[in-house]
Amino acid sequence: MIALISGKIVYKGISHVIVDVQGVGYRVFIPLTTFYELPESGQTVTLHVHTNVKQDAINLFGFYTDQERNLFQLMISVSGIGPKIAMNILSGIDARDLMNAISGGNVGKLVNIPGVGKKMAERLVLELKDKVIKKMMAGKMPEAGVQSRADDMMEDVLSALVNLGYKNNIARDALDKVIRSSEEKLEMDQLLKKTLKMLAG
């Protein structure tokens, strides 16, 4: 299963891009929110991918952030919502706003999205509210802004600390303190070392 694609954009369209990965062109369907973030054709891009396998086709759905992919995967788990509808929803609302609308049970906000009726909005809230809140609390879908490379790095360091035996909340607190106290941008190994030192002290 393809989870990540990194290569040169050889075609850039509103609904899909073609990414050249070492001579192989992959067609990747994208929402508008991702389209707006893409560099120009000929430049390199990295997309978080969901691979959808059907009897007659294998389709790739790409997203500029892991947060968008998480939301997409949650939505297609809802009865009556397939990849096309999920992509349309992501094209009509910012990922953060969608997340807040679902977690807050804001049906009115959801029905303002093109193609989403009241029944579908209610189904999204009913089936996804608890899952979205759980992911937000776990830090996988941060409430403020789109997930950046810095957020990805922080989650990787946190995962490493948890694997070393530290409790999630203790490791996260130490990691937050290190980031706040650092005047310069730290690489992953530096961040891990400094956090381990703080935890050891």
Question: What pLDDT, on a 0 to 100 scale, did the predictor assign at position 176?
Answer: 83
**Total domains present in the chain:** 3
Indicate whether 153 belongs to any domain.
Answer: yes
Least confident of 75-89, 94-108, 154-168: 154-168
Place 85 in a pLDDT band, splitting at 50, 70 and 90: very high
Indicate whether 144 belongs to any domain.
Answer: no
71 and 50 in a single domain? The answer is no
CATH number at residue 44: 2.40.50.140
Place 187 in a pLDDT band, splitting at 50, 70 and 90: confident
Place 150 in a pLDDT band, splitting at 50, 70 and 90: low
Please determine, for residue 61, whether its predicted confidence score (pLDDT) is greater than 60. Answer: yes
CA-CA distance, 3 to 48, in Å (whole number)? 6
Question: What pLDDT, on a 0 to 100 scale, did the predictor assign at position 84?
Answer: 93
Please determine, for residue 87, whether its predicted confidence score (pLDDT) is greater than 80. Answer: yes
pTM of the model: 0.66
pLDDT tens track for 151-161: 667 777 888 88
Write out the two tokens for 177: 């303190």
Please determine, for residue 173, whether its predicted confidence score (pLDDT) is greater than 50. Answer: yes
Q: Domain residues for 131?
A: 66-138
Check if the beta carbon of residue 11 is closer than 8 Å to that of residue 17: yes
Please determine, for residue 138, whether its predicted confidence score (pLDDT) is greater than 70. Answer: no
Place 139 in a pLDDT band, splitting at 50, 70 and 90: low
123 and 74 in a single domain? The answer is yes
Q: What is the signed CA dihedral for 43, 49, 55, 56, rounded to 10 degrees?
A: -10
84 and 120 in a single domain? The answer is yes
Please determine, for residue 1, whether its predicted confidence score (pLDDT) is greater than 70. Answer: yes
Q: Residue type for 88, please?
A: N
